[in-house]
Amino acid sequence: MKLNKNFSLLLLGQSLANIGDVLYMVSVISTIFALTGSATASSFVPFTITSSMFLSSLVTPLLTGRVNLKWLMAGSQIGKTIFLFILGIMLIGITASNYYLIFLIIGWIAFLDGCANPIRQTLIPHYVKPQHLVQANGIAETVTQVIQAAMWFIGSLFLIIMSPQQLVWLVGGLFVIASILLCFLESVNQKRTEPKGKLEQIKEGWITLFNTPVLRRIAWIDFFETIAGTVWIAAILYVFVNDGLNVDEKWWGNINGAFFLGLILGSVYCIKFSSFIEKKLGTFIFVGSFLSFLGTFLFSINSIPIIALLLSLCVGLFGQIKNIPQQTVIQTSVSKEQLSTVYTSLSAIGTGMFGVGSLVMGLLADMLGIRVVFVLSGLLLAIVSTLAHTNKQLFVRNIIEQ
């Protein structure tokens, strides 16, 4: 697949934005912990971000029918840049008595990010030929996961030589470049629909999910899979490494890194064998979900660190081998004009259930033990693989819509 100009601009612009997102979060978490000495206060950073992205997913449909998707994407990044510079100025005079103001700014940045993410996924089919969708999704996922895996480590190194405020200014520069790149994207053609009420616009994506059999199944798969995936957040994995494996923090970092490496390897596999995967989308969705269930269940009962490391890699690998074909099914199951509202609805399910699931899994880990939540995660993934198997015939690429 030869990368065209628009896909390259979208990928580069979003990658710079993603790098900046991780670095500014490192800066914010460091600042709040330095001011308060409270891990709880620091943990409210991801909670604030997830909550804001959930709200954004609910209201973004009000904009997708009125604003060109290219400018919605670029505009959200410009807005993030403005709020980030406000954050940089704010850090000059921030103290332990007013640090809560930081949460207002990161909430707005996350709100705009929640708008950009589904739009990015919607734009890919506009800029890429249908036969290249698996490859394009694989490339986008590979870049995203490499950034996620590397930038938390690099961000902590930056804090050794830079202050949190200086790091925010560096991110500001990345955001400015990202904004400029996204402004050079070509506008996409959208069919204008008759004016609708606000409630109808918000409901549009949900109605499409409900009325499209394959998307309805995928929504249920996302529901169960998102809750299952919350056991891999750093806080719960840390407890498993400490209590379940009885090893030190080094293994926590290694197992977490192995999971991300598995995601990257899964993306690379999908890029390399995209033409083969295209012909068997349903099979790969089922096999990936089943092996993710098996890997998670074995992880829950295992006590040997090196095996836990390998199982963590496998869960990431097979999860990604399922997710990329699933993205292709979504992108080709409805018209391009409907995609943005579909993705915002799926994003609302993902962010909403991730927030609730993280809280529930944390409580269950305290009450029932850390291994129980991983067993529960495996059982939820067993439901996912059952749904994938029984609906395998639905998971195909709809060429007619293209």
Residue 112, SS3 per DSSP: helix
What residue numbers bound the domain in which 310 lies? Answer: 198-402
Q: Is residue 47 part of a domain?
A: yes
Q: Is residue 218 part of a domain?
A: yes
User: 6 with 142: CB under 8 angstroms?
Assistant: no
Residue 395: CATH number of its domain: 1.20.1250.20
Distance of CA 280 to the CA centre of its chain: 25
Same domain, 222 and 360: yes
What is the C-alpha separation between 334 and 215, in angstroms, rounded? 9
What is the C-alpha separation between 253 and 397, in angstroms, rounded? 38
Q: Is residue 193 part of a domain?
A: no
Same domain, 179 and 297: no
At 38 the pLDDT is 65
Same domain, 149 and 263: no
What is the C-alpha separation between 137 and 284, in angstroms, rounded? 15
Same domain, 102 and 210: no
Same domain, 206 and 168: no
- What does each of the 402 residues of the chain score in pLDDT, given as a tens digit? 566 889 999 999 999 999 998 888 888 878 887 888 765 676 677 778 888 888 888 888 877 777 788 888 999 999 999 999 999 998 888 888 888 889 999 999 999 998 888 888 888 888 888 888 888 888 888 888 888 778 877 877 887 888 888 999 999 999 999 999 999 998 886 665 555 666 777 788 888 888 889 999 999 999 999 999 888 876 678 788 888 888 876 787 788 888 888 998 999 999 889 889 988 899 999 999 999 999 999 999 999 999 999 999 999 999 999 999 998 899 888 887 788 888 888 888 888 888 788 878 878 888 888 899 999 999 999 999 999 999 888 888 765 444
Q: Is residue 343 part of a domain?
A: yes
Same domain, 358 and 255: yes
Closest CA to 277 of 312, 323, 311: 323
Closest CA to 1 of 136, 138, 130, 122: 136
Helix axis angle, 198-211 to 213-229, nearest 10°: 90
At 402 the pLDDT is 43
Of 131, 156, 187, the residue at which a domain comes to its end is 187
At 400 the pLDDT is 45
Same domain, 157 and 242: no
Q: Is residue 192 part of a domain?
A: no
Same domain, 217 and 140: no
Structure tokens that stand for 308 in this block = 């836990």
CB atoms within 10 A of CB 161: 8
Of 167, 187, 207, the residue at which a domain comes to its end is 187
Same domain, 210 and 171: no
What is the C-alpha separation between 278 and 250, in angstroms, rounded? 39
Same domain, 50 and 181: yes
> What are the CA-CA distances from residue 78 to residues 60, 101, 113 (Å)?
16, 21, 11
Q: Is residue 260 part of a domain?
A: yes
Same domain, 256 and 119: no
Residue 264, SS3 per DSSP: helix
Closest CA to 178 of 19, 363, 339, 285: 19
Of 187, 221, 250, the residue at which a domain comes to its end is 187
- The pTM assigned to this predicted structure is 0.78
Same domain, 143 and 208: no
User: 69 with 178: CB under 8 angstroms?
Assistant: no
Count how many domains the chain has.
2
